[in-house]
Amino acid sequence: MADDILFTSFKIGSLTVPNRIARSATMDYRAADDGSVTDVQVALYDSLAKGGCGLIITGFLYVSPDGRSASRQTGIDNDALIPGLHRLTDTVHAAGMTIAAQLVHGGVQIRKKTPGDLMAPSVLPSYTGVREMNDADIKLLIDSFIQAAVRAKTAGFDAVELHAAHGYLLSSFLSPVTNLRTDIYGGSTENRARIVIDIIRGIKSACGIPVMIKMNGDDGYDGRGIDADEAARIAVLLEAAGADALEISRGMIGSVRTPAEPNIETAGEGYNLAAAARIKKAVSIPVIAVGGIRDKQSAVDALSNGTCDFIAFSRPLVREPDLPNKFRAGAERAECISCNRCFNPRGLACGQVGKG
């Protein structure tokens, strides 16, 4: 089978990525208590880069202390963390690969916080201890993302990715289910996208680093949230604001108490490819598809038939950090069985490896 397309280079803005394989952001629960990078994390990124992944997107990095979702999450909220982050970019660059910093504010997805500290665009009946964000909160949030992107550039990252999917704070502005505001940040598609647009523009004028956005092609709210058509409208607005690439995912964590990422366990092969194809028709910037892609052939087909420009993997690379090299050497399918046991607050690890 001709799989050459997987191993051709492609550009994201000014950045040349050596192949079409991305590691989708994967929180590793392996940072130090102060949010700084540890040796274990450097080794993880080294194995991904040496394993052949052209673009490695970090696990989500909190842009401000109040946006931290877990105790062993890595931060990018202050300059003292830059040297540690630089170790990650150095190790990836040494292997000839590229690396993007995923930036996040957890919004209502923050555990172990004092009730009342949580903030959201709107207070839904299912929330407890959450307050509606005011203008000052929004300004501060936009600035936190911009400052984090400036730090990412200083730390040697090739790009940043705004986490605007899965129920974290930016996605709860985008979705009509979680954003009930009546000011300029709510209502129309343009208004709900405004905060992301303001952040993209702010980053571009502050440091010019390429900006990618991870967004939902489907919120998973049974037709009440974002679907592929609405996502395509948002995508057009983000491209006009200066976005350099879009990564298409799906699902919102439903409530403050839901423990993990969206339920991705039972979805089929390439379950976001249709949404990615819809969005790609609407924009001219690169589109990255993620979610349930396990067969090399479906990856090759998606790239060849214009569904997307990059294929991203999360769980398969937990099990096989060298999956890109294995594909190149002839492997046809990732070994990952999507059991979700890699979600482990004691440290990212495949739940199957060693089980025989």
Ligand X SMILES: Cc1cc2nc3c(=O)[nH]c(=O)nc-3n(C[C@H](O)[C@H](O)[C@H](O)COP(=O)(O)O)c2cc1C
Chain residues in the site for ligand X (CB under 6 A) = 24-27, 59-60, 102, 163, 165, 214, 249, 261, 264, 290-292, 313-316, 342-343, 348
CA 70 and chain centroid, separation: 16
- The residue among 125 and 354 lying less far from ligand X, judged by its C-beta, is 354
Alpha helices in 12-74 (DSSP H): 39-50
Greatest extent of the chain over all pairs of C-alpha atoms, in Å: 56
In the complex, what is the shortest distance from the CB of residue 57 to ligand X, in angstroms, rounded to a whole number?
A: 8
Is 29 considered catalytic here? no
Catalytic choice (29, 45, 127, 168): 168
CB of 15 to ligand X, least distance (A): 19
Nearer to ligand X, 131 or 322 (CB): 322
Q: How big is the CA angle at 62 (ends 110 and 340), to the nearest 5 degrees? A: 65
DSSP 238-290: HHHHT--EEEEE--B--STT--SS---SS--TTTTHHHHHHHHHH-SS-EEEE
Nearer to ligand X, 47 or 191 (CB): 47
The distance of closest approach from Cβ of residue 182 to ligand X in the complex, given in angstroms and rounded to an integer, is 29
User: Closest approach of Cβ 221 to ligand X, in Å?
Assistant: 18
Give backbone dihedrals phi and psi of 191, rounded to 5 degrees, phi first. Answer: -65, -40
Strands 21-23, 118-120: pairing kind: unpaired
Distance in Å, CB of 64 to ligand X, minimum: 16
Task: Count Cβ atoms within 10 A of the Cβ of residue 134 and give its class: 0-12 exposed, 13-18 middle, 19 or more buried.
Answer: exposed
Angle separating helix axes 39-50 and 82-94, nearest 10 degrees:
20
If the CB atoms of residues 6 and 205 are measured against ligand X, the closer one turns out to be 6
Closer residue to ligand X, CB minimum distance, 123 or 274: 274
Q: What amino acid positions are annotated as catalytic residues?
A: 168
